[in-house]
Amino acid sequence: MARVKKSAVLVGCNYANTRNELHGCINDVLAMQATLIDRFGFETDDIKLLTDAPGSRIMPTGTNIKKVLGQMIDGAGPGDILFFHYSGHGTLIPSHGHGPNKKDEAIVPCDFNLITDIDFRHLVNRLPKGASFTIFSDSCHSGGLIDKEKEQIGPHVHDHGPHTNSGSHHRPKTIPFDSILNHLTKISGIQSSDVGAHLSEVFGSDASAKFRSHSLQSGTSNRVGPDDGILISGCQTNETSADMDPNDDGSKAYGAFSNAVQTVLEDHKGVISNRELVTRVREVLHVQGFKQHPCLYCSDQNADATFLRQSTSSSV
């Protein structure tokens, strides 16, 4: 029987020396890297780390993130366990063809080449049979980041309404759409309110599939039936996720969601299901005073499957 391979891509964007600077995102993924190796049996060589720290070997641009994720999926076999942890800014963008008030979720790589819910749907649809792909997104507006994935825990199941975190050591991990559009207008040199026009002008074929031809956008997004994509988001679509810097110098900075996940895993040494993990992380954040509600999107079967398919024999 072939050995199950465990692979991960970890992305931390701090956007240093910009108006969008965060402080805890690189710390988040370094902590997760250690957890994957020490607890879940991932091999160091099977973990790809992309950060925007000075001297980083692979910068977390939109192109690089999608390339590394695509390579991970293309190299997977049946039953393999794939994991993606993103810590950085998120945003909401107008949804093409769904009315003026509909917004879609996206993450914001260091070069602003947005990666959208459609892109994550395309990646999930490429999974080999029986392989699982768990996405952690510690970013604002991250609920629903896999297009058309089934909601298990979220605003329609546990509706708390919109919330915004507050606190002297907190920064929300969001870049408003207007700021995204203004930045892209400066680098594209064109005048348009269509963010897709700017992204296509600047990044060409490396822009999100959401902004390319309708056939490409919809051809693989209309998935029928359950799949093995698992989204564990730091908050609901209408909420922000907190980046905390308690010392105001970045030394102990962290994402509130990523830190709560680490807390739950430390306190719960046995196997834990995806549903239980999200439920416990919500409780930790509530006790800590954060007004963000992590969500779970996946099939019914994966909701009750153990996180990263950890077996009883491998638990510590």
Q: What is the structure's pLDDT at 295? A: 98
pLDDT at 305 over 70: yes
Q: What residues are labeled active site?
A: 89, 140
Dist CA 115 CA 305 (whole Å): 27
Give percent above pLDDT 70 in the chain.
Answer: 88
In sequence order, which ranges of the chain are alpha helices (DSSP H)? 25-38, 62-74, 117-125, 177-188, 195-203, 214-219, 256-267, 274-288, 300-303
Round the average pLDDT of the chain to a whole number and report it. 90
Q: Cβ contacts of residue 257 below 8 Å, gap of 6+? A: 138, 234, 235, 241, 242, 281, 285, 292, 294
**pTM of this structure:** 0.92
Strands 254-255 and 229-233 come out as unpaired
* Token reading at 108: 């914001």
Q: What is the pLDDT of residues 14-26, one digit of tens each?
A: 999 999 999 999 9
Alpha-carbon torsion (255, 272, 132, 5), positive or negative: positive
| 248 burial type by CB count under 10 A (0-12 exposed, 13-18 middle, 19+ buried) | exposed
Domain boundaries, the chain: 6-310
**What's the gap between Cα 92 and its chain centre?**
14
Report whether 114 contacts 203 (CB < 8 A).
no
Best CA proximity match to 228, nearest among 156, 149, 119, 143: 149
Q: What is the pLDDT of residues 145-181, one digit of tens each?
A: 999 999 999 987 654 444 445 444 678 999 999 999 9
* Token reading at 287: 């006790």
Give CATH for domain 6-310: 3.40.50.12660
Helix, coil or strand: residue 45: helix
Question: DSSP per residue over 63-116, as a string?
Answer: HHHHHHHHHHHHT--TT-EEEEEEES-EEEEEPTTS-TT-EEEEE--TT---EE
Dist CA 233 CA 194 (whole Å): 27
Strands 295-297 and 151-153 come out as antiparallel
Dist CA 207 CA 200 (whole Å): 6
Q: What is the pLDDT of residues 249-268, one digit of tens each?
A: 878 999 999 999 999 999 99
Residue with tokens 């998935």: 223
Q: Output the CA torsion 52→57→58→61 (10° steps).
A: 40
**What's the gap between Cα 276 and its chain centre?**
19
- Cα angle, residue 101 at apex, residues 209 and 152 outer, rounded to 5°: 70
Q: What is the pLDDT of residues 263-285, one digit of tens each?
A: 999 999 899 999 999 999 999 99
For the segment 295-303, the average pLDDT, to the nearest whole number, is 97
pLDDT at 203 over 60: yes
pLDDT at 60 over 80: yes
> Mean pLDDT highest for which of 80-84, 225-229, 244-248?
80-84
